[in-house]
Amino acid sequence: MALVSPADEFQPAAHPPAGPFLVRALDDPRYPCALFLDVDGTLLDIAGSPAAVIVPDGLRATLQSLHHRLGGALALVSGRPIEDLDRLFAPLCLPAAGAHGAQWRLRAGEAVGRKAGKPLPGEVRRRLLALAGAHDGVLAEDKGTSLALHYRAAPAARAALLAGLEEILAGPEGVELRFLPGKMVFEVLTGGYDKAAAVERLLAEAPFAGRRPIFVGDDVTDEPALAAMPALGGLAFSVGRLLPGAAAVFGSPEALRSALASAAGMPP
């Protein structure tokens, strides 16, 4: 028998390869799963702007097949509004939580439910749009209850945007605003929801209730949901880098897509 040196014994346990781990979990008949997937940077490669992302050939068929295999318990969980997700993945109309949980849809094709989220105060919106307008290449995305400033095309503007945001966020008295830094994007939203709450809302009802949740995400905005998985008896995976709470890491969105295709019995 090989000797294990004391130093080896104290090495942290290696994270298992994410693909086979996810496929096994989705296939385990003892624990029917509910699968929650972030979109940008997780299922899809990040592009120069949110409108420029590409849904690769075969992904829709993979998602459709998995949705069927999981008894409908597959949801997209995104900062994008659900209308935007539907446009991207058309003709699919999957269960989803959109706008960081301010919107939800439990079953494919159903109407979208909305939390009566407060719109951003007009003064805050005006100042955010002015901040974006002051920097060439910064794209403002207005989602009603939130406003995102994308600076992928203007990375040098990051520090100035942060300074401007700090002033704007300190401004209005009595208005609860949250700040979400993401990949080359800063988002300001009215308080009250995050992706952990979004997943728990879906898990409370059929077809998700009673299933073991699996969440896959890639960014700071996914961390509450990743961290919530152990207490919910679930599993968390991250993409691109190890995030707190993740049991294993996919190297790229493509690696995740390939594992999902394999779990769905589709050609890779």
Which residues of the shown chain bind Mg ion in the complex (CB under 5 A)?
A: 38, 40-42, 218-219
CB nearer Mg ion, residue 20 or residue 48: 48
CB 239 within 8 A of CB 250: yes
Per the annotation, the verdict on 194 as an active-site residue is no
CB nearer Mg ion, residue 168 or residue 202: 202
CB nearer Mg ion, residue 221 or residue 262: 221
CB nearer Mg ion, residue 40 or residue 194: 40
CB 237 within 8 A of CB 28: no
Selecting among 38, 40, 86, 219, the annotated active-site residue is 38
Give the span between the Cα atoms of 119 and 125, in whole angstroms: 9
Residue 82 Cβ vs Mg ion, minimum distance, rounded to whole Å: 16
Residue 129 Cβ vs Mg ion, minimum distance, rounded to whole Å: 24
Residue 137 Cβ vs Mg ion, minimum distance, rounded to whole Å: 21
Residue 101 Cβ vs Mg ion, minimum distance, rounded to whole Å: 14
Residue nearest to Mg ion (CB): 41
User: Which residues are the active-site residues?
Assistant: 38
